[in-house]
Structure 1
Amino acid sequence: MSKSAISELILHRSPVVMRDSATVQEACKIMHQHRVGAIIVVDEQKRPVGIFTGRDAVNRVLANGLDGKRTLLREVMTEKPDCVSPDWVTLDALRQMSDCGYRHLPVVQDGKIVGLVSRGDFRLMDQVRLDEETGYWERI
């Protein structure tokens, strides 16, 4: 993996965000519609205050018998998630996710959410590079 910046991964995608007053059921519906594994929970100024993931839905909601229709994100989200800036090196972000045991990392610039990277983004990036290299060698 090269020393490219996180900004390359988030260039054409907007993060899925919700307020902490949304219910778990609403969040899960949005995650399903957008085919994402996490939602960034933001305040009025679009500053990240938490993150809610599919793992949270299972481990903090379903496993504890909570009702997704009544449980609010503020009750089960991970507060104050670690964040990175768009100029972070992709390998450093992947290392942080691996070291800390999470799959999603919010990207923040000037205090506001600008993206979200997941471990899957790095697999896709590697596949694109592999395809490029294969094409190069096929032309030789």
Structure 2
Amino acid sequence: MRKFSVVTLQHHPITMNEAASVTEACDQMRARGPGSVLVTGQAGQLVGIFTGRDAVCRVLAQRLDPSRTCLADVMTRDPKTILPDQTAFEVLRLMAEGGFRHMPMLKNGKIVGLVSRGDFKGVELNPDHEECDLWEHLH
């Protein structure tokens, strides 16, 4: 049976410097659709991830001003990452175990993509995949 590569699911992420404001990040998420922004440091390396959940729980619920709050102050630092050669089912399992909806994809330390939980619609139910029963064990 074939392995379903996670590379087929990835899309190009929004990346922003950690000094960018929450407002800027939310504007980009609204304009481009994904529910997260990958946050980079001065050298362009991944330092965090900012999600819609972070916007609600760490900014709005804390009554912070999104235009004056930088991503570095409210992002999830050092997010777990995946590699391009991992299977979709390995990534699905990592997401379930960690409670993640988004996982950055790195290759040689460089950001090459982002996989979202929503990218897996229908994948876990496809009987052609050798790992098809994994989904049943995750619930």
Scaled by the length of structure 2, the TM-score of the pair is: 0.84
* 1:5 match: 5
Distance of aligned partners of 1:124 and 1:54 in 2 relative to their CA distance in 1, 3 Å threshold: farther
Match of 2:73 among 75, 82, 85: 75
Question: 1:20-72: CA deviations, max 9, x gaps?
Answer: 00000000000000011000001244321100000000000000000001000
- Please give the root-mean-square deviation of Cα atoms over the aligned residues, in Å: 2.0
* 1:138 match: none
SS of the aligned residue for 1:102 comes to coil
Q: CA deviation at 1:6?
A: 1.2
Q: Determine the C-alpha separation between the residues in 2 that align with 1:107 and 1:85.
A: 5
SS of the aligned residue for 2:9 comes to helix
Q: CA deviation at 1:14?
A: 1.7
Larger Rg: 1
Q: Determine the C-alpha separation between the residues in 2 that align with 1:95 and 1:35.
A: 24
Equivalent residue runs for 1:47-58 within 5 Å = 47-58=45-56
Contact 1:45/1:112, CA 8 A, preserved across alignment? no
Match of 1:113 among 103, 111, 114: 111
- AA aligned opposite 1:61: V
Contact 1:86/1:109, CA 8 A, preserved across alignment? yes
Which protein has the bigger helix share?
Answer: 1
Contact 1:22/1:73, CA 8 A, preserved across alignment? yes
Q: CA deviation at 1:95?
A: 0.7
The gaps in structure 2 that reach 5 residues or longer are 129-139
- AA aligned opposite 1:38: S
Q: Determine the C-alpha separation between the residues in 2 that align with 1:31 and 1:125.
A: 25
Q: CA deviation at 1:3?
A: 2.4
* 2:90 match: 92
Contact 2:82/2:105, CA 8 A, preserved across alignment? yes
Scaled by the length of structure 1, the TM-score of the pair is: 0.84
Question: 1:56-114: CA deviations, max 9, x gaps?
Answer: 00000000000001000000000000001010111010111111111000000010100
Percent of residue pairs bearing the same amino acid type: 44
